[in-house]
A = this chain, B = another copy of it.
Amino acid sequence: MNYHLPRIALVSCLSIFSIGLFAQTAPRTGDAKLTEYWDPQVRIITPGKTASDAPSDAIVLFDGKDASKWKSQKDGGEVRWKIEDGALVVARGTGGIQTREGFGDCQLHIEWRTPAKVEGESQGRGNSGIFLMGKYELQVLDNYNNRTYSNGQAASIYKQTPPLVNASRKPGEWQTYDILFTAPQFYADGSLKSPARITVFHNGVLVQNNTTIWGATQYIGTPNYEPHGALEPLALQDHGNPVAFRNIWIRPL
């Protein structure tokens, strides 16, 4: 293959459609092909109809009808949450639910809605949680006109890191989380090799920017890392409020 195009052609191309970046410096000359490579090829996928819809390589965890990818955390049996109007709704006291399959590094899309009728305050209002690997909680809360502690807000890493901003919608409206999660890694002796990290967009707004997670979420005392598998189930919390979830899809990375 002849990599050596006539130099005059390259120069003329640059001069016609210049973007003005090279104004102060002489244009570089040489073989532009030396910084191109064709392999490995990039895998082709089909994106969803909108950025919120599942692309072709995602695993759809809940499509509005079928909860069979989940089980109860109480007894490992069928999910006892309600399916209403295409949403999976917490049934108070039935316990959390978790996926039957495990996941590690992933891109996760999930939509949630707190009750339109406002009851309670602070942590008592529209409270649920998304537990990555069953251990690391991204808080779900009705945080619209509802002050609570900063590291317990909606989109906080619960009891660790507040969101950058509070981008909450009103109660009764659907909200989205778009999540990038990097799983922690452990040495053979069980000590921590690298902590988990998370990036979150809340209703399209950046709220966690490659945040390091300190350890498994703890309600009391300090978080800590205890070794676990590379793939662990995703869990949703029953905190006693009828929070709804829909359009849940995940892309293992």
Contacts and interface: CB of A to CB of B under 8 A. Distances in A.
Interface of A: 3, 10, 14, 16-21, 28-48, 50-53, 55, 57, 73-74, 92-93, 95-96, 98, 105, 107, 109, 129, 131, 134-135, 147, 149-153, 159-169, 176, 178, 180, 187, 189-195, 199, 201-206, 209-210, 212, 214, 216-222, 224, 226-227, 235, 237-240, 251, 253
A36 B222 contact: yes
Majority-rule SS of A interface residues: loop
B107 A21 contact: no
Given A19-B235, A20-B95, A47-B167, 11 more contacts: A17-B238, A19-B238, A34-B220, A38-B150, A44-B166, A44-B168, A48-B203, A109-B204, A161-B192, A180-B199, A206-B253
Given A16-B93, A190-B40, A47 B205 contact: yes
A206 B107 contact: yes
Total copies of this chain within the assembly = 4
Contacts of A29: 3, 220
Contacts of A212: 195, 212
Nearest to A186: B40
B191 A43 contact: yes
Given A93-B17, A195-B212, A237-B19, A150 B34 contact: no
Nearest to A92: B17
A194 B14 CA distance: 30
Nearest to A193: B253
9 contacts: A10-B220, A17-B239, A18-B73, A35-B159, A35-B221, A35-B222, A44-B165, A107-B206, A206-B253
B48 A51 contact: no
B203 A47 contact: yes
Contact of A47 (B202, B221, B222, B227): B202
